[in-house]
Structure 1
Amino acid sequence: MSETTMGGRRRWLILIVLCLATLVLVVDNMVLTVAVPALTESLHASAQNIQWVLDSYILVFAGLLLTTGSLSDRFGRRRVLIIGLAVFGVASAVATMAHNPGELIAARVAMGIGGALLMPSTLSILITVFTDEAERRKAMAAWTVVAMVGLVGGPVLGGVMISHFWWGSVFLLNIPIAVLAIISAVVLMPESKGPWRKPDPLGTVLSIVGLTSAVWVIIELPKGLTRPSTLTALAVAVVALISFGVWETRIAEPMVPLQLFKQRNFSGGSFSLTLVQIGNGGLLLVMTQYLQFVLGFSALKASLCFIPLAIAALIFNTLGAGLGMKFGNRPLMVVGLLICAVAFGILADLGVNDGLTKLFVGLFLLGAGSGLAMPAAITAIMGAVPPEHAGVSSALNDTVQQTGAALGVAIMGTVVASRFTAAMPAKVTGAARHSLGDAYGIAAKTGDSALLESARTAFTYAASVAYIAGAVGVIAAALVSFVVLRDDKPAAPADGAGAAGAAGAEQGHTDGTLIGAEA
């Protein structure tokens, strides 16, 4: 068997490792949403405890991304990936044994550290290993499909596990995936680094303080911006991030190459993805409540309703890889985002007594649009990145998306809460007026069917407003993509010289960035 064939096969085996690493993060994030009722009862957790179980992970994960991306470029992307998987797996094991909310929150903080270590390495290794654009598109599509399958499969697996075992079993899912990914990475994956650069301790501190404070503000936003703690965090975030930007432009070897934002594809793709994430960020949260409270589905049945979204994403991710080579990233992003806008419009029309047909059509279109747009956006972004900055650029992209998703949850949560309260009858007072869960609890205790029906109607209206806001977000993202992005078509090389030139370029790339790579 030729070395070329072996090299090609090895690249795709490496992709499996990267998909496993991504899967462990996505499954964990989604499976926890199903476990919340069970762990609340078992650990006697308050609403504030549950919020911190969810938010502590996001806070640490987003705050450390830029730093860990820089570390992966400096010390080795495979090494940092393996360390991240190990930390995540051990922390998951600790989470299964938590006896109180404090122990679980501490385990989630450790999981956030592990996730921040492995996420930037995953995407940066992918673009380093797949240097051919056609192969990179296929690899990116597969990577995105795995994330989407995890998004839908996580709650389904969680529902099955909780129905047979205790709440901590949902974290056990992470451990075998992490172990398999570590073994595969050691056996299959070459090491890769960027050129050695001087450490940037001040930039590291400013980025962690700034990003952590910014995410804190986003998390606390639904409670009001005038609270002293929120205002303090906002001031710290603004000062730290502005100082970080100024510092990174002044030093000779910055931790984060901010000049990347001068490239239209990087800045346009990043901004478009931020708008998409703002629109999509709260979708699952709102839709899950609609399915369980309004339609009365169990957690498992509600999670199964997202299967059309996963199927569509699988089909159109695969289709998009070929269409991207033919038409370019910009058309796929624009068309995909407009399809997402149509999907949001259909979901906004859902009523209290609607069947599943409209829901499935809306989710299928959302999966189709995302399947076309998201891989094209990430390909455009990472295609503008020089190999030596792959890790930190991947982290920058992840940070932008995480911030957008967190902002989306905050915005959609605020919109739904305010519209729900406004739509409730004036005679309804107290907690039932402000919370769908409280309204259901009170109605169940008192047998007040009128309150139950009012809550269902008010939440359906509030969800519709949120979906319209999501549609506005993705339409804005489509507009940004159309105006800012460019598809640069490289000139076709002359026969003979083309193959030699490509081989020479890849050999130079390998010598500069890969250690122990295939010939």
Structure 2
Amino acid sequence: MSLNKNISLNKQAGLRSWFGLLVLMLPVLLVTVDNTILGFALPKIARALEPSANQQLWIIDAYSLVLAGLLVSMGSIGDRVGHRMLLLLGSLGFTIISVLTALSTSPEQLIVGRAALGFFGAMLMPSTLALISCLFVDREQRRVAVAIWATTLTVGSALGPIIGGVLLQYFNWNSIFLLAVPVLIPLLIFGPILLPASDKQTGFIDGYSVLLSIIAMIGIVYAIKHIASNGVGIEAIAASAIGLMSGRSFIRRQHKLPVPLMDISLFHNGVFAGSVMVNLLSLGLLVGFVFFATQFLQIVLSIEPLLASFALVPGQIMAVVVGMAIVSVAKRVPAYWLLPLLLALAGLAFLLIAWVGSSLTSIIITFVLLCSGIGAIASVSNELILSAVPSSKTGSASAISETAYEVGVVFGTTIIGGLLTAFYRLNLKLPDAISQDQTKLALETLAGAYTVADSLADTARQRLVNSAEFSFTHAIHMTSWSTAILTGIVVLITWYLLRKPEKISHV
């Protein structure tokens, strides 16, 4: 390494860089709040727009699905047009589409709006992590900056229900989409002043790779959704086959391209691969928990949105405290012990729900455990990801890391949400004197069962409400057992991967 490079690596960032980091936290906060705030608003949306169970999942997943499919592509585009430019364009588009989405009058319009938000959201997240590498060349400063970024990510996900609770207490569900305006306007004003213009790479964007990645994601997720709602069938098998074949073709194509859309060689590094996998699962656990906890608090326990959101405050506080405190611990404890232990802590949260059952007390304690593990994971794993790859590949690494987070959101709502729906339908007992349409509505969602119950006589109404509450509570119990077991398996895989020696060259 040359003397000039040594000087560059030891260069300390000044106050301007820290203000730039503060500006970068605005889109991080918005995008992560947006991931979980909708889950808290889902009961009101279900009553206002009457979406089916499948539409409810698509309302949440349309955003994450499009975003996950495009993150790697947008990361590569940012490498070519500049990450600052891409961040500003994404912020402008996200603000405009958010206002339009707030005007939705049907589930279909809301799904389209969420998908459009995913398109512009894909421009935001890879740019933030890539620009942190430009702002902070010194590793110790970058470690702190990444910890702040990661803590904001976790806190944003946890703050979604609180912000949603406040808005839903005083306004309609449409208000949650207007958050982008006050959050992103400061970025559009101060971003050009405080954020650096990153180096631009030459090369082309392979459109076929973009198409393959989107088809792969949509095919696999659609198959999971269909199986959860309707069981295994020809449609689900066909969708999964198309998704898997497209994914295989995508991976093979990346190996052949001189400038790949996703640098698959990064996964030869055990530290990188293990950290990415933990990122994916950790956010999936958080979003999946919020998906059923918010419905349990609001519908089963009949708690107002604002008061229900306070049940999650202790967990959010712990996410901040542990997310920052873990930085000093990470310097002393080997990653192959620390990261699996933190993931096991998050898994323990679901084990607690599975063991003692769902109640207000268990929801609060569980969320504290979950946020403690996930807040620390985000700080540790993202610094490992940036440190595990050569500096010339930090843009690609950032995009893959962000893709893992968004796939995690899809995992949380699709797999955990799908399991919840399947277990709920399996145990729900319906009155005989209801129509076929009412039966379908009650089987689709807990909110749907309550809607049907409101149209019945007192005795039949109470029987349906009791059955729906029992079925939903039992579904939480069974889903939590399944999630805890899956997390335990991933803990072992993570430990193995993080112990593997590096196989890529840092040149």
Q: Give the TM-score of the pair, scaled to structure 1.
A: 0.84
Question: 1:242 corresponds to which residue?
Answer: 248
Is 1:24 paired with 2:30? Answer: yes
Q: 1:439 to 1:369 in 2, by over 3 A?
A: same
Alignment match of 1:149 (pick from 147, 155, 165): 155
Q: 1:439 to 1:90 in 2, by over 3 A?
A: closer
**TM-align CA RMSD:** 3.1
Residue-by-residue CA offset, 1:293-352 (whole Å, 9 max, x unaligned): 322212222222111110111110111011112224333212212222322222223446
Question: 2:13 corresponds to which residue?
Answer: 7
Task: Tell me, in whole angstroms, the C-alpha distance in 2 between the residues paired with 1:234 and 1:366.
Answer: 31
Task: Tell me, in whole angstroms, the C-alpha distance in 2 between the residues paired with 1:438 and 1:92.
Answer: 27
**Bigger CA drift: 11-20 or 105-114?**
105-114
Is 1:163 paired with 2:163? Answer: no
Alignment match of 1:390 (pick from 364, 379, 394): 394
Shift of 1:255: 2.2
Task: Tell me, in whole angstroms, the C-alpha distance in 1 between the residues paired with 2:264 and 2:310.
Answer: 42
Alignment match of 1:483 (pick from 491, 496, 504): 496
Alignment match of 1:134 (pick from 109, 134, 140): 140
Shift of 1:441: 3.3
* Structure 1: runs of 5 or more not aligned: 490-508, 513-519
Letter in 1 for 2:77: L
Task: Tell me, in whole angstroms, the C-alpha distance in 1 between the residues paired with 2:136 and 2:78.
Answer: 18
Shift of 1:258: 0.9
Alignment match of 1:68 (pick from 74, 78, 95): 74
Letter in 2 for 1:21: P
Structural mapping, 1:357-368, within 5 Å: 357-368=361-372
Secondary structure (helix, strand or coil) at the match of 2:14 reads helix
Task: Tell me, in whole angstroms, the C-alpha distance in 1 between the residues paired with 2:443 and 2:220.
Answer: 30
Q: 1:342 to 1:46 in 2, by over 3 A?
A: closer
Question: 1:466 corresponds to which residue?
Answer: 479
Q: Give the TM-score of the pair, scaled to structure 2.
A: 0.86
Question: 2:7 corresponds to which residue?
Answer: none
Shift of 1:14: 1.9
**Bigger CA drift: 400-409 or 32-41?**
32-41
Q: Percent identity?
A: 29
Letter in 1 for 2:82: G
Secondary structure (helix, strand or coil) at the match of 1:240 reads helix
Cα pair 1:350 1:358 within 8 Å, conserved: yes
Letter in 1 for 2:373: G
Task: Tell me, in whole angstroms, the C-alpha distance in 1 between the residues paired with 2:334 and 2:17.
Answer: 24
Cα pair 2:275 2:381 within 8 Å, conserved: yes
Q: 1:126 to 1:281 in 2, by over 3 A?
A: same
Shift of 1:396: 1.7
Cα pair 1:152 1:303 within 8 Å, conserved: no
Cα pair 2:154 2:374 within 8 Å, conserved: no
Task: Tell me, in whole angstroms, the C-alpha distance in 1 between the residues paired with 2:428 and 2:39.
Answer: 26
Secondary structure (helix, strand or coil) at the match of 1:192 reads coil
Question: 1:440 corresponds to which residue?
Answer: 450
Cα pair 2:87 2:123 within 8 Å, conserved: yes
Aligned length: 487
Cα pair 1:279 1:473 within 8 Å, conserved: no
Task: Tell me, in whole angstroms, the C-alpha distance in 2 between the residues paired with 1:226 and 1:425.
Answer: 22
Letter in 1 for 2:23: V
Cα pair 2:23 2:190 within 8 Å, conserved: yes
Cα pair 2:131 2:198 within 8 Å, conserved: yes
Cα pair 2:283 2:374 within 8 Å, conserved: no
Question: 1:190 corresponds to which residue?
Answer: 196
Task: Tell me, in whole angstroms, the C-alpha distance in 1 between the residues paired with 2:475 and 2:298.
Answer: 15
Task: Tell me, in whole angstroms, the C-alpha distance in 2 between the residues paired with 1:123 and 1:143.
Answer: 8
Residue-by-residue CA offset, 1:85-127 (whole Å, 9 max, x unaligned): 1110111122233455444443322211110111111122223
Shift of 1:368: 1.4
Q: 1:434 to 1:237 in 2, by over 3 A?
A: closer
Alignment match of 1:455 (pick from 440, 463, 468): 468
Task: Tell me, in whole angstroms, the C-alpha distance in 2 between the residues paired with 1:47 and 1:336.
Answer: 33
Task: Tell me, in whole angstroms, the C-alpha distance in 1 between the residues paired with 2:391 and 2:120.
Answer: 23
Letter in 2 for 1:313: A
Is 1:406 paired with 2:406? Answer: no
Q: 1:343 to 1:226 in 2, by over 3 A?
A: closer
Task: Tell me, in whole angstroms, the C-alpha distance in 2 between the residues paired with 1:6 and 1:384.
Answer: 21
**Bigger CA drift: 434-443 or 36-45?**
36-45
Residue-by-residue CA offset, 1:125-144 (whole Å, 9 max, x unaligned): 22343333332232222222
Task: Tell me, in whole angstroms, the C-alpha distance in 2 between the residues paired with 1:32 and 1:435.
Answer: 16
Q: 1:378 to 1:220 in 2, by over 3 A?
A: farther
Residue-by-residue CA offset, 1:432-468 (whole Å, 9 max, x unaligned): 5664334333444332434433332332222112112
Task: Tell me, in whole angstroms, the C-alpha distance in 2 between the residues paired with 1:92 and 1:435.
Answer: 26
Shift of 1:80: 0.8
Letter in 1 for 2:447: G
Structural mapping, 1:363-374, within 5 Å: 363-374=367-378
Question: 1:323 corresponds to which residue?
Answer: 329
Secondary structure (helix, strand or coil) at the match of 1:326 reads coil
Shift of 1:424: 4.3
Letter in 2 for 1:76: G
Letter in 1 for 2:88: I
Task: Tell me, in whole angstroms, the C-alpha distance in 1 between the residues paired with 2:348 and 2:51.
Answer: 40
Alignment match of 1:252 (pick from 242, 252, 258): 258
Task: Tell me, in whole angstroms, the C-alpha distance in 1 between the residues paired with 2:92 and 2:224.
Answer: 29
Shift of 1:15: 1.6
Shift of 1:252: 2.3
Task: Tell me, in whole angstroms, the C-alpha distance in 2 between the residues paired with 1:417 and 1:41.
Answer: 18
Task: Tell me, in whole angstroms, the C-alpha distance in 1 between the residues paired with 2:423 and 2:108.
Answer: 33
Task: Tell me, in whole angstroms, the C-alpha distance in 1 between the residues paired with 2:232 and 2:345.
Answer: 38
Cα pair 1:24 1:174 within 8 Å, conserved: yes
Residue-by-residue CA offset, 1:449-498 (whole Å, 9 max, x unaligned): 34433332332222112112222233223222322214999xxxxxxxxx
Is 1:96 paired with 2:84? Answer: no
Alignment match of 1:222 (pick from 217, 228, 232): 228
Cα pair 1:425 1:454 within 8 Å, conserved: yes
Shift of 1:42: 5.2
Task: Tell me, in whole angstroms, the C-alpha distance in 2 between the residues paired with 1:30 and 1:137.
Answer: 26
Structural mapping, 1:310-349, within 5 Å: 310-349=316-355
Shift of 1:174: 0.9
Task: Tell me, in whole angstroms, the C-alpha distance in 2 between the residues paired with 1:194 and 1:386.
Answer: 17
Task: Tell me, in whole angstroms, the C-alpha distance in 1 between the residues paired with 2:191 and 2:118.
Answer: 21
Letter in 2 for 1:476: I
Task: Tell me, in whole angstroms, the C-alpha distance in 2 between the residues paired with 1:157 and 1:244.
Answer: 39
Shift of 1:158: 2.5
Secondary structure (helix, strand or coil) at the match of 2:332 reads helix
Letter in 1 for 2:390: P
Question: 2:6 corresponds to which residue?
Answer: none
